[in-house]
Amino acid sequence: MTAIRKAGSLSLFGLLAVSGLIVFYPHTAGAQLPGITQPATSTTPPLNQNQILTGKIKSDIIPAEQLMSQGRYAEAEEMFRELLVNNPADLAATVGLGTALAKQFKLDGADDMLDRVLKSDPNNALAFAGKANVILNRLQSSSGTIRDNRDSYLRQAEDYARRATALAPASGEAHFTLGQVYKEQGRIEDAAQELRTAVSLDPQHSQALSTLGTIKLDQGSLAEAAENFKRAINISSSNSTAHYGLGSVYLKQGQVDDAIKELNTSLYQFPNSWPVRMALGDAYAQQGNQVAAIKEYQLSILIKPENAQPYLKIADIRESRSDLELALADLRSGLSQIPYDIDLRQRIAEICLKLEKADDAIKGFRTILQMSPNNPQAVKGLSQGLYIKAQKAAVGALLASNDYEAALKSLDEAIKLSPDDFELRLAQAKLMSLAGAKPDLSKMGDPQNNGEKLAYAEALMAQGEFQKATDMMKTVVNSVNDPKQAFAVADVAMLNKDLDNAEAAYKKAITLSGAPERAQRGLDEVARLRKVSKDDVIVADELFKKNQLDGAIDRYRHAVSTNPTLADARLGLARSLEKMQKANSTMLMESAEQYHNYMSLNPNQPIKEAEKMRQNIAKLRDKAAKLAEKETKNKRG
């Protein structure tokens, strides 16, 4: 401690700048601070301009300053305390002690020291920087009061840090503190600029380098981040933030063993770091060590329970094991801490869907839509929940409920915002299929994007424009390059029973996603529907030959509903309806329509046969119109 004793004889000039930078300034009155009484007049004699110094004091002159710059705060605290034992009125040592305490989260003691300085010296730059640090560290608290007033705390911290840089523009510590404030405010470019200034003024400022590295890490600049972290560690091997940052870089680069080594070093230096626990959990998860990963995520929650990420990560692991109820319990535990977190609510509702708890899922998604109107994922989830509910309950009751109308309205709004989102289109198609509703071509303009083409093709299919619908669906299938979109297009085609395009979309999804199981289930269903429809036609043809027309019509209808583009089913249904002995106007009109559909599906029909069929269609329509008029008169009579 010889160096400290020698330093004890230095003047205020010698110890003022904890960062290694010092400014002499006139003792003028400053703005009134909360809780701080300012003297009415200054007792400090004025300085002439020759006394103002802004140069850097070498770190070997002031050991405590060097320790602070390197992040060795506990050692710096000890040195500053010894200085104050020798001279209790030493403001420079008091500022240094307050700052060292603030860095170690000894916040009440830090506030006491820094307020003591500001009472005697209202323009002490480093005391303002220290006060800003106290506020920044208080923001790490889980206190609801502090969390609710985060913005006002940050504004106060910014005010303190700005005063520090204004009073001591050559202080690396002041610029470092302002950079930290900007980072917490999300002003990343401003933060990076202040941190670079701090490093240029004090190249030994390990914490400024590690914070700059954190910004680069968040921006994805891994090489620059690693360089900053390594420089920070070379200056101070005890910089836990730098070890954490370097471990995070290694983790992103797939160097898991190196990442775990750095993260454990950081954790040894600062055991109560929730981000380090999170990163360790991610590292163990990458190694497949799920037990260790869950343990680290749980420890992260114990330190900072209001962070949503560990709850979501634990749920991922539980879900991968099919422990959905456990995943749900963990997520609800998180929601009790963070009730306004949409990600947690979304995962809870999604797991409720997987557990087929339709009512809970619907309630969850509706809550999300109240918090975030037109949220696409919530709209999709709500429609899926209603679809599941309809499969379990009476469809009529569901269609009469407000939920159904609200979901369709939400879908319409969400589709306006994301017209090319095929999953939204699929959700809409599912809900409309519950009511048997079909898109109306008259309400649609010319399709401008793939999403609109998908809806337009659905409407064309419903109106019997099979070739146009098929061609439009083909363009959509050929244009998709995302596996989720490919599956959504395939599922819409399946809902419309457009089996050819459904098959093409599922096959494309395999090439895009490498998920053969999901696609194969779809392809198997396509094959099954084709077989069922053909078998129906075979049976119906036999019934038609035996003149069992009611049975034939039922079979042909089933074949058409299963595979609307099966031309033979349309032709058989048309003939059966036409042949009915007591066919009414509706049957004859439907017969004409089915003949027309057959011609649309079979455009290469011989010219003579096609002309003969067109004449028959005209006769059927004319006969149906006359019969309808007669039926109307009979009803009136």
Domains and CATH numbers, the chain: 1-31+50-151 (1.25.40.10), 530-636 (1.25.40.10)
C-alpha separations of 355 from 248, 376, 451 in Å: 35, 21, 30
Question: Which one has a higher pLDDT value, 412 or 270?
Answer: 270
Put simply, whether the predicted model's pTM sits higher than 0.75 gets the answer no
What token pair was written down for 43? 């007792």
User: What is d(CA 389, CA 375) in angstroms, rounded to the nearest whole number?
Assistant: 21
Is the pLDDT at 543 greater than 80? The verdict is yes
User: What is d(CA 385, CA 373) in angstroms, rounded to the nearest whole number?
Assistant: 18
Residue 494 contacts residue 506 (beta carbons within 8 Å): no
What token pair was written down for 636? 């009136």
Percent of the chain with pLDDT over 90: 36
Residue 206 contacts residue 232 (beta carbons within 8 Å): yes
> At 56, is the secondary structure helix, strand, or coil?
strand
CA dihedral 366, 367, 368, 369 (to 10 degrees): 50
Confidence of residue 322 (pLDDT cuts 50, 70, 90): confident
Supply the pLDDT for residue 320: 86
What digits encode the pLDDT tens for the residues 405-454?
666 676 677 667 667 666 666 666 666 665 555 665 555 567 777 777 77
Count H helices and E strands in the chain, helices first. Answer: 34, 0
Supply the pLDDT for residue 421: 67
Residues 489-515 have a mean pLDDT of 82
How far is C-alpha 166 from the geometric centre of its chain's CA atoms? Answer: 39
Instruction: HSE, CB side, 13 Å, CA atoms: give it for residue 476.
Output: 34
Residue 155 contacts residue 73 (beta carbons within 8 Å): no
Residue 178 contacts residue 165 (beta carbons within 8 Å): yes
Confidence of residue 356 (pLDDT cuts 50, 70, 90): confident
**Average model confidence (pLDDT) for the chain?**
80
Please report, in angstroms and rounded to a whole number, the separation of the first and last CA atoms in the chain.
Answer: 119
